Structure 1
């Protein structure tokens, strides 16, 4: 039986392992940490006994067809709760809801869009014209990786308020980048696939259990038969010409017929600096998760966009008493002490949730993921590497590779599936794992 060794146990590595195991390949997955999941993982909260939290809230949309396929392979698709409503809160607490109606796509939001209270009639017309232009230009305009989403929106005469209230909440959270740093290509993709393609494509899936359970080593091994080696950091390579013979680890070499790197670009650059001609095109964009626990429930909403707030979104994790705020592209928080970040988040939350003003903040926990994702800057798409490398039996996976998606769990899954397809072709047994986008 052919053997594949995969370095990196994040979502990309898990996806590659699951696909190759399905193809009858013996899989060895190596992860330097004591758990799988990479940046989509969980851990025990310090000083709180057995309480487990996710490092940051991860969600998916129904248009993430490959991630849903992976969760089916792992047997955890029933642990995703889908929400058909997007809630928006204005300062003062006024609510609006965006939901699908009876009309077919792309008109399915017409009714709820017209009823949004946070946009004026003129701003709704602006946004509608922008959506029509986006749908018309998607797949036809050739410069979308050369301009920012902000430039495109200004070209379409979207006002600052329409941009900040309608476009930014979705795009900044989905791509994890500011509009003036984000390639328009990815902004187009998010709105086209999630909001203009199918009536339910936008629905938000939130895991019912910690991500550590979704991505556990035990689950992967049980569902696929893969051999998972935790605490196995790859420290070097054994080469024979243009082939790799083994991965060197602190516990000795791991031999295989083929190898997949599912490592982030930084550790791979340290391991193989000559693999790419220019690593400098890859930059990071941060995410922060601010966990707040109250002495009483402060909201009945499952989640909401906080309009005009730097803290962007909250997710109700436990009966309204435990909220997690998610701040995408959170560069402004990098230098803030955690106590200051939690205090400002609580103060800001009180502007939107009257109940929070009467509650006592019992404790907090702030997570700063400085290297959360790659920055989806203009010009990067053509520089992202494909699975095949200059080495005969080495293939690449990872959300930063050429997936056609920004840095998301769907993008990571796509990369793992594409690498698995390349491995199967290498063995002379072509297989297709990657599912096409719904649109």
Structure 2
């Protein structure tokens, strides 16, 4: 039997939410933490930046969390984040059909007993109670495709479940994993509206998550080193023995844990024989420098156009399209004009297109299919001092902020347990 390891320090490659989550958890436990990222700023895919074309600070994507996400709450509490997450008092989701101009709101009651499906004014227009009952078949732990488990049609599916699951999974819901869907449903709709209130980072993701974490770590001597890319990992026996950051291999101490909180394509290039998701889905976002009109919903689901979700901020209007492979290669101005037409139809705006920006993430998330879910590795590896973090590891959730934060907590627990 191998001797037990006691880690007193940790080196983390990657300063996205998974890496920051691991760093915070380990630093709280008294571990000396070094964290580096190859980019010019921390945050990974949850980053904010000043866009000179817009003259505004924007997020790379309109990321949404829910009031019942426990890791989000733990992380923000740990780093003392005070910027509130904006959202409605109840789990109200407003939608609009751009072809008919009809708008409706699904109002999920706060408690776990879903009596909202029995109230015509709260459920999807034209739906019946029976339309919601097949959801129970998605709560099993048996893996498969959603369209093999339930019928993917009818008003409840097309006007609520499909758009919500598409946003959560970033994969066409019909082909998506039933196990991932079951875990989402158990933590959200099965717990009632108190766990499902949508929460949006306002004014930015950086203010809500990244900046407080960086400040917290800096105060404790663990400032993030940016522009520092891990090029090679050296292995010997059952340990990582060296890391090359571009100036030759630096030895890894016997009491040092190594955490790779990098994208899966980077991890597989560094770790021998590592299996990881290799099929990805895109997200396209459009940002427009026009303050939200009075009375505009903070978040509006759209049907009948190209944009799928419209977010109204005090200084801008933003739209998001998930599983957007069909859009990523289109001309940016064509996309902007298409999105602007959807915004004008949704909010009754009669104005020329303002200054705009299109942000494309071609590999935004792994495809949430059964095949890709089966390729997700665990946080522990066969090397005793090497751990993996990221929303692409086996968190049980799709690639979300909540999943990324949980992966960081998991590697911290594993390192501390060893």
Report the RMSD for the aligned CA atoms in angstroms. Answer: 2.3
1:106 Cα deviation after fit = 2.5
Give the unaligned 5+ runs of structure 1.
Answer: 427-439
1:159 Cα deviation after fit = 2.6
Is contact 2:54-2:355 (8 Å) kept? no
| Whole-angstrom distance in 1 between the partners of 2:13 and 2:373 | 24
1:241 Cα deviation after fit = 2.9
From 351, 354, 363, the counterpart of 1:362 = 354
Check if 1:67 corresponds to 2:62.
no
Is contact 2:234-2:241 (8 Å) kept? yes
| Whole-angstrom distance in 1 between the partners of 2:354 and 2:12 | 43
Seen in structure 2, the aligned counterparts of structure 1 residues 118 and 240 have a Cα distance that, compared at 3 Å, is: closer
Cα deviation 1:98-153 (Å, max 9, x = unaligned): 23446x31325347x52158531xx333432223x34xx62xx343x22x223323
**Aligned pairs (5 A) from 1:101-250:** 101=109, 104-107=111-114, 109-110=116-117, 114-116=120-122, 119-120=125-126, 123-131=127-135, 133-134=136-137, 138=139, 141-143=140-142, 145-146=143-144, 148-154=145-151, 158-213=152-207, 214-216=209-211, 218-222=214-218, 225-250=221-246
User: SS in structure 1 opposite 2:297?
Assistant: coil
Cα deviation 1:144-173 (Å, max 9, x = unaligned): x22x2233231xxx5354422121111000
Seen in structure 2, the aligned counterparts of structure 1 residues 258 and 340 have a Cα distance that, compared at 3 Å, is: same
From 79, 83, 90, the counterpart of 2:97 = 90
Q: Which moved more, 1:240-249 or 1:391-400?
A: 240-249
Moved over 6 A (4+): none
User: SS in structure 2 opposite 1:366?
Assistant: strand
- 2:48 aligned partner: 42
Give the unaligned 5+ runs of structure 2.
Answer: 1-6
Check if 1:261 corresponds to 2:260.
yes
| Whole-angstrom distance in 1 between the partners of 2:120 and 2:44 | 41
Seen in structure 2, the aligned counterparts of structure 1 residues 189 and 296 have a Cα distance that, compared at 3 Å, is: closer
Is contact 2:21-2:405 (8 Å) kept? yes
Seen in structure 2, the aligned counterparts of structure 1 residues 296 and 177 have a Cα distance that, compared at 3 Å, is: closer
| Whole-angstrom distance in 2 between the partners of 1:226 and 1:127 | 52
- 1:434 aligned partner: none
Cα deviation 1:164-215 (Å, max 9, x = unaligned): 2121111000111111321122223323321121341001111123222331
User: SS in structure 2 opposite 1:388?
Assistant: coil
TM-score in terms of structure 2 length: 0.89
Check if 1:15 corresponds to 2:59.
no
| Whole-angstrom distance in 1 between the partners of 2:52 and 2:320 | 20
Is contact 2:36-2:228 (8 Å) kept? yes
